[in-house]
Structures are given as C-alpha cells and as structure tokens.
C-alpha cells in the first residue's frame, strides 16, 4: 500500500522470529528471548494494521463499484464517511513510517522538571505527569513511574515515566521543551492568576542486554537515603532511596519511588543508561543532541506549548499553531493531535 512499507519483508521477518522462538534453547538467554519476542509483537502489530487497511480499502472500492453499477445514491453518505476515515487512518499509518530514526521505536524515558512558578510549578509537574500517563493508558501502552521527587508544599519537583509501545520515543520526542500553565492559583489566598513552567525531557531507553551502554561497577558511586514525601518529611524508616553518581561523567541519578532498595537501584540504572546513551550521541554529533532537544530554561519566552485555564480555556502549540479548547481532555491525555501536527511539520509534511 505504501512504497515505504515492505509488507512482504516484514512477514518474512515474522516467520524467521517464529522459527527461532520454537527452538528448544530459545529461552536459555532470557534477555535476548524477551527482546526478540517484543520485536515479534511489534512486527505482527504493524503487519496486522496494514493488512486491515488493505481489507478496508478493498471493501470500500467494492462498495463504490456496486453503487456505481446500480446507480445507488443512498450509499453516498456512507462511502464519503468511510473514505474520510480510511484517508485519516492511512495518513496516520504513513506518518509512522517516517519515524525511522535509530531510536524512534524504543520505549521512552520521560522526565518533567519544575521551572519558574514556585509551588504552582510543582503542581504543574504532577499535572503533566498525569497527562502523559493518561496518554499512555488511552493508547494501551505500558507505563511505569520510575521516580518522583516531591515539592516542598505540594506537587513534584521532578517526575519520571517509562512509556513503551510502538514508536514511543519517536512520538514523545515531539513533547520535548518547556510547557507553560496559566490559571488561577489554588495556592494563592488572593486567588490571583499565576503562570508556571515545566520542562519535558525525553530519552530513548538503552539496550543494556546488548551492552549498548557499559557501566562498570568501579565507575559508579552508590548512596542510600530515606525517601521523602510532600513537605520533605521522611516517609520510610529504612534507607531505600538510591542515588547513583557516574564518576567518569559526573552524571547523578536518584530514585525513591519504590519501597525496595533493589527496585530503586534498577530504575536509577535504567535512567542512567538512557542519559549516557544521549550523552554519547551528543559527543558523536558534536552539537546539542536531537534526542534531548535544545536545553532551555523553564521560564517565560521559551515555551513550546501553553495551557491556559483562566480567563479562557485553550491549549496552543506555538510551533504548529495547533490548538484545542478542550483543556480537560488534553490534560487527561488526549494529545495525539498535538504530537502528529508537530511531526508532520517537522518532517516537511
């Protein structure tokens, strides 16, 4: 259906992976087996999607021929509606084919950092974390909270999610940048209007099972401390939170979400690998990495998107001018239109 989609080639890859999976020693290497099963699932989903599209187009053509043959005008509305639906779905599927970067199909590690705006900016981080978790849930993507760091009075200073599914990094890379919120502050006794900012960073996961990013034990320093809740109080009696310092680069990653020290350590290492992968790409390219996007301060004038809840309701992306008046839906995770509008512009669509 599309010159950019090798349907036959992908079906051959599926057959090859199925043969490998049926071998008696396939699960002797669990990490490699799991990676190949994930690859198989993604290939099968992609092929099924295009086969379904082929079937829909064939049915539409058959119905059109039937209407013409019988001069049946009663099918006009149905044909028009289905044609528009197929065209929209085809455009979306073809756009996915353009997400062919080396990391676009990987899970994404998305971190939100609070910026200017005080307590409101911490609350804004928590709202955005909910928006992206909602997007993942609506898209039936796996999502996991890797880390949260509470604000002094409310909300979060930072929050980190890992989101999987097809082209997770490719899609979420559209969200990199500063997000601005304008509303009546619930933390101001005078109920004045407040503008607050948060910065979204998105990184692809590193394939640690393939040695893509090597972390030697001697290169890291690991500290343990008690997890903190809202207001900074200790919420656990044991030191389960983990802080890892990568000595060669000075990168520091902490994680305190889980009650298990071992789980927090695994999450912190996962984030560190993603940051080291991005750093390597930056050095290789000798300029600011396209993986991160340009690092700008989270304050006035740098925003990519504004979410206005007062005195009117509107969400507007300043890169594409796409906007929506349904702020509740957007903050609930309905951001596909914003993502797709940006990707189409970015890719010269």
Report if residue 229 sits inside a domain.
Answer: yes
Q: Which residues constitute the domain of residue 53? A: 7-97
pTM of the model: 0.72
Count the neighbouring beta carbons within 10 Å of the beta carbon of residue 174: 23
d(CA 289, CA 281): 6
Are 166 and 278 within one domain? yes
Are 132 and 268 within one domain? yes
Are 52 and 177 within one domain? no
d(CA 83, CA 89): 10
CATH of the domain at 154: 3.30.70.1660
Nearest to 324 by CA among 333, 311, 337, 343: 337
> Which of 45, 65, 97 lies at the terminal end of a domain, its last residue?
97
Per-residue pLDDT of the chain (349 residues; tens, 9 = 90+): 444 456 788 888 899 999 999 999 999 888 778 878 877 887 887 788 888 888 888 888 888 888 888 887 877 888 888 888 888 887 777 776 667 777 888 899 999 999 999 999 999 999 999 999 999 999 999 999 999 988 888 999 999 999 999 889 999 999 999 999 999 999 988 888 999 999 999 999 987 655 678 888 999 999 888 776 665 454 444 568 899 999 999 999 989 877 788 889 999 999 999 999 988 887 776 644 455 555 555 555 679 999 999 999 999 999 999 999 999 999 999 999 999 899 888 765 4
CATH of the domain at 72: 1.20.58.410
- Give the 3-state secondary structure of residue 15: helix
Are 88 and 131 within one domain? no
The answer for 317, left when phi > 0, alpha when psi is -120 to 50, beta otherwise, is beta
> Which of 44, 65, 97 lies at the terminal end of a domain, its last residue?
97
Report if residue 179 sits inside a domain.
Answer: yes
Are 149 and 230 within one domain? yes
Are 35 and 120 within one domain? no
> Which of 56, 73, 97 lies at the terminal end of a domain, its last residue?
97
| Residue 54 CB-half CA count within 13 A | 10
DSSP classification of residue 173: G
Nearest to 153 by CA among 233, 236, 227, 225: 233
Q: Pinpoint the alpha helices (H) of 70-205.
A: 76-97, 119-138, 168-172
**For residue 339, what pLDDT is reported?**
94
Are 88 and 188 within one domain? no
d(CA 334, CA 322): 13
Determine contact, residues 146/160, Cβ cutoff 8 Å: yes
Report if residue 1 sits inside a domain.
Answer: no
Are 116 and 210 within one domain? yes
Are 120 and 184 within one domain? yes
231-238 long-range contacts, Cβ below 8 Å, gap at least 24? Answer: 231/150, 231/152, 231/153, 232/150, 232/152
Are 29 and 161 within one domain? no
Question: CA-CA distances (angstroms) from residue 158 to 237, 262, 324?
Answer: 23, 21, 26
Are 308 and 334 within one domain? yes
Are 143 and 79 within one domain? no
Exposed, middle or buried, 106 (CB in 10 Å: 0-12/13-18/19+)?
Answer: buried
Crossing angle of helices 336-346 and 76-97, rounded to 10°: 60
Domain count, the chain: 2
* Pairing of β 220-225 and β 241-246: antiparallel
């Amino acid at each position: 259906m599309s010159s950019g989609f090798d349907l036959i080639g992908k079906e051959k890859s599926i057959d090859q992976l199925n043969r490998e999976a049926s071998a008696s020693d396939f699960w002797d290497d669990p990490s490699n087996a799991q990676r190949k099963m994930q690859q198989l699932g993604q290939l099968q989903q992609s092929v099924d999607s295009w086969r379904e599209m082929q079937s829909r187009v064939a049915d539409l053509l058959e119905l059109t021929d039937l209407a013409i043959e019988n001069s049946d005008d009663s099918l006009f509305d149905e044909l028009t509606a289905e044609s528009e639906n197929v065209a929209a779905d085809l455009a979306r599927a073809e756009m996915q084919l353009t997400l062919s970067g080396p990391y676009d199909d990987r899970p994404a590690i998305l971190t939100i950092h609070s910026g200017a705006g005080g307590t409101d900016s911490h609350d804004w981080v928590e709202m955005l974390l909910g928006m992206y978790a909602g997007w993942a849930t609506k898209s039936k993507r796996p999502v996991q909270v890797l880390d949260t760091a509470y604000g002094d009075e409310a909300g979060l200073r930072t929050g980190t999610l890992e989101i999987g599914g097809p082209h997770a990094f490719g899609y979420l890379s559209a969200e990199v940048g500063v997000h601005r919120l304008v509303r009546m502050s619930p933390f101001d006794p005078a109920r004045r209007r407040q503008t607050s900012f948060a910065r979204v960073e998105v990184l692809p996961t590193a394939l640690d099972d393939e040695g893509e990013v090597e972390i030697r034990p001697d290169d890291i320093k690991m500290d343990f401390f008690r997890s903190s809740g809202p207001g900074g109080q200790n919420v656990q009696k044991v030191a389960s939170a983990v802080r890892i310092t990568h000595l060669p680069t000075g990168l520091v990653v902490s994680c305190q979400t889980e009650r298990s020290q071992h789980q927090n350590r695994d999450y912190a290492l996962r984030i560190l690998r993603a940051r080291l992968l991005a750093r390597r790409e930056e050095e290789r390219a000798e300029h600011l990495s396209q993986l991160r996007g340009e690092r700008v301060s989270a304050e006035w004038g740098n925003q990519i998107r504004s979410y206005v809840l007062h005195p009117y309701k509107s969400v507007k992306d300043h890169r594409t001018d796409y906007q929506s008046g349904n702020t509740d839906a957007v903050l609930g995770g309905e951001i596909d239109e914003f993502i797709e509008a940006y990707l189409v512009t970015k890719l010269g669509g």
